[in-house]
Structure formats: structure tokens, C-alpha cells
């Protein structure tokens, strides 16, 4: 059995826009209107002095033009950066971290079991290039120490995104569970697990992780819970087309569930029924929640339409994206204002 642990902060990489480097001291200063006035009201200057000032005016005009061009480029960079923020903030939401678990026992480096684990994970990574689910057993190095494993992506995830999600899961698993004889990692749209003991084809309704949303206004009397119960109830029956991916809804409450592909339709229904009971018990009056069991997971939410692909972003993800966008925009504005202030101060002499 995997020992679940909490990660203080998910191992993800947030991409922040780096502000453009400040211009160096070679940036030409701007002439103030006062300095120009002083130049043009000196009619009695010697010929050499007039020539010198005339040359200075031409020189400053040229540098002033160059400065304006650089400011225009900075403006363009600023607005281009803002236009890219939505893509940078939300593009990899389907790979966001949910939970992970590792066995307490470790394998010996260089042992046959380690070689079997490496062979297994390589095989699963290869399978993710063409499928959203696969399980495998590796005993290449030693039949006495086989390694069992599987992966699964959300059924409506495109193959290319599934492949990317599993690669991310593999990377995080190796960092979180080094030399562990068993481990698993759940990302938003994919799951990966391996172990020394076979778990393939075996039901597991153990609650591994839950996340509850805010409470509905008005308490249990709100009609949202009638909609929620109806939406969740529709998930407990296998779809006519078969498969482990199920969706349902009632009113403005939507729900979805998915079982691991090694379960039978009845085992899947049993797992989903257990998930429904546990989410009601654990999350009470929440208007939205996620629960992850050993072989299935369930989500429901309100005030929104069912995401046809993997575009559903939870409120936490949306808030994070907004914060990142605001911080990047403020940083760029500060750099731009600093540049203008520095350029203006250099023009005073």
C-alpha cells in the first residue's frame, strides 16, 4: 500500500515573463525645452561658439530621435508580452500536480528490481505516445523481482497531451520517490503508478485524496444539492457505450468520473458509488469537489458547463493565472516608467 504524503508546494514551474533589460548609459539624453530656449536667445555668441552650439543641437536631435525609437520598441514589447500572458499562465493546467505517494521501502541501487523498474517505466512512456491507458509487467532483469505498473490519462485528452502529461508524471515521480519500491503520482489529467506487488486488475476503493470547494449559500436547503445528488447519481451507471469515463449533470451542476482501465464495468460502478458516498460525507455543503480513490476519481462543480475536452480550470488555477498576469504587467510598467524617468533626468543639464 502506498503511503500518501502531502507536498507543501506542488513541483511545477511557473513561467514568469522577464522584463526587458534596462538600457545602458549610452542611451542619449532628452533635451528639455528650457535648454533649447537658452540656446536660441544667445545672438551675440562668437562664430566658433555658435557653430559648436549648432552642432550640439543637431547631435541632441539625432539622439532624441534614437531615444524615441527605443521607447516605441519598448512599448511594442510591453503590449506583446501582455498578449502572451493568457497562454503562459494556463497552457499547462492539465499537468498540474494533485498528489503523490511513495512506499517506505527502498530498492538497492543496481539491483535487478531497479533494472525492471527502469524497463517498466520506459515501456509505459513509449505506450503513452499512442494510447491513453496501458499496464505492463517487467521481469527482464529477474523474474523473481518483477515490477508492475500502469498509466492512465483522462479519456478525452488528446494523445499528444497525454504523452506530455505522462512524461511530466515520470519526471516528478523520479524526483519525489527516488529508489522507492513503489510509487504513484496524480496530475490533473493523468495518473502513473508502479509497485513491487501486483495491483493490476484488483479493485481499490481506498480514499487517497480529496479537495472540497466552498459551501453553498443558504446551507443544505439550497436546491443545488438536489442537482448535485442527481448529477452524481447519473455516474453510478455504466454508459451504454461502455468504457470507464462517465459524465453527467442536473440543472447547473455537472459531474464526471473515470475508473482505471483494468476494472470491469461492475467494479468501476462499485468504485464510483464509493466515491459518491465519500464525497458527500467528506465535503458536506461544498458546491464543488474532487475525490481520488485507489482505482477511480470523481469531480463535480456548479455554475458552469461540462468541459468537452481538458479545458476545465478550477478556481485556484484561474486565480493563480490572474495573479501571475498582474505581477508580470506591473513589473513591465515599472521598468518602462523607470526608463522614462532616467531618460528625462539625463536631459537636464
139, 146 Cβ separation under 8 angstroms: yes
- Whole-number pLDDT of residue 64: 56
- Whole-number pLDDT of residue 233: 93
* 246 Cβ contact partners less than 8 Å away, ≥ 6 residues apart: 234, 235, 238, 239, 256, 257, 258, 272
- Whole-number pLDDT of residue 235: 93
145, 139 Cβ separation under 8 angstroms: yes
127, 134 Cβ separation under 8 angstroms: yes
134, 151 Cβ separation under 8 angstroms: yes
pLDDT tens for residues 93-123? 889 999 999 999 999 999 999 999 999 999 9
Q: Which residues of the chain carry a pLDDT beneath 70?
A: 1-92, 216-222, 240-242, 304-325, 330, 335-336, 339, 342-349
- Whole-number pLDDT of residue 283: 93
In the CATH scheme, what is the homologous superfamily, with its name and number, of domain 204-302?
Gnk2 domain, C-X8-C-X2-C motif (3.30.430.20)
- Quote the Cα angle for 13-16-22, to 5°: 145
Give the span between the Cα atoms of 36 and 57, in whole angstroms. 8
Residue entry with cell 557653430: 51
- Whole-number pLDDT of residue 321: 58
167, 189 Cβ separation under 8 angstroms: no
- Whole-number pLDDT of residue 93: 80
CATH for 95-195, among 3.30.430.20, 1.10.10.60, 3.40.50.2300, 3.30.2350.10?
3.30.430.20
Query: 292, exposed or middle or buried, with CB in 10 Å at 0-12, 13-18, 19+?
Result: buried
- Whole-number pLDDT of residue 58: 58
Entry field: residues in the chain: 349
- Whole-number pLDDT of residue 202: 97
Amino acid at each position: 500500500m502506498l503511503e500518501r504524503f502531502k507536498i507543501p508546494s506542488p513541483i511545477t514551474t511557473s513561467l514568469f515573463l522577464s522584463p526587458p533589460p534596462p538600457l545602458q548609459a549610452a542611451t542619449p539624453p532628452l533635451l528639455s525645452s528650457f535648454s533649447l530656449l537658452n540656446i536660441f536667445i544667445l545672438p551675440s555668441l562668437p562664430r566658433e561658439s555658435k557653430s559648436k552650439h549648432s552642432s550640439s543641437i543637431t547631435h541632441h536631435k539625432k539622439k532624441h530621435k534614437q531615444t524615441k525609437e527605443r521607447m516605441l520598441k519598448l512599448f511594442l514589447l510591453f503590449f506583446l508580452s501582455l498578449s502572451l500572458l493568457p497562454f503562459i499562465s494556463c497552457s499547462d493546467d492539465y499537468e498540474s500536480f494533485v498528489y503523490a505517494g511513495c512506499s517506505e521501502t527502498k530498492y538497492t541501487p543496481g539491483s535487478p528490481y531497479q533494472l525492471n523498474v527502469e524497463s517498466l517505466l520506459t515501456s509505459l512512456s513509449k505506450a503513452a505516445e499512442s494510447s491513453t491507458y496501458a499496464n505492463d509487467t517487467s521481469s527482464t532483469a529477474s523474474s523473481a523481482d518483477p515490477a508492475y505498473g500502469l498509466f492512465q490519462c483522462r479519456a478525452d485528452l488528446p494523445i499528444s497531451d497525454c504523452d506530455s502529461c505522462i512524461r511530466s508524471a515520470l519526471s516528478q515521480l523520479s524526483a519525489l520517490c527516488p529508489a522507492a519500491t513503489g510509487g504513484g503520482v496524480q496530475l490533473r489529467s493523468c495518473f502513473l503508478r508502479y509497485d513491487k506487488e501486483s495491483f493490476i486488475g484488483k479493485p481499490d476503493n481506498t480514499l487517497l485524496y480529496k479537495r472540497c470547494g466552498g459551501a453553498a449559500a443558504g446551507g443544505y436547503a439550497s436546491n443545488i444539492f438536489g442537482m448535485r445528488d442527481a448529477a452524481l447519481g447519473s455516474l453510478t451507471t455504466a454508459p451504454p457505450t461502455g468504457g470507464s469515463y462517465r459524465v453527467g449533470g442536473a440543472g447547473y451542476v455537472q459531474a464526471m468520473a473515470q475508473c482505471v482501465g483494468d476494472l470491469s464495468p461492475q467494479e468501476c460502478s462499485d468504485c464510483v458509488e464509493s466515491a459518491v458516498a465519500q464525497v458527500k460525507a467528506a465535503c458536506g455543503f461544498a458546491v464543488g469537489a474532487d475525490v481520488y480513490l485507489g482505482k477511480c476519481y470523481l469531480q463535480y462543480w456548479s455554475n458552469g458547463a461540462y468541459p468537452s475536452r481538458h479545458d476545465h480550470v478550477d478556481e485556484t488555477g484561474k486565480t493563480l493565472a490572474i495573479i501571475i498576469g498582474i505581477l508580470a504587467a506591473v513589473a513591465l510598467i515599472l521598468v518602462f516608467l523607470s526608463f522614462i524617468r532616467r531618460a528625462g533626468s539625463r536631459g537636464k543639464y
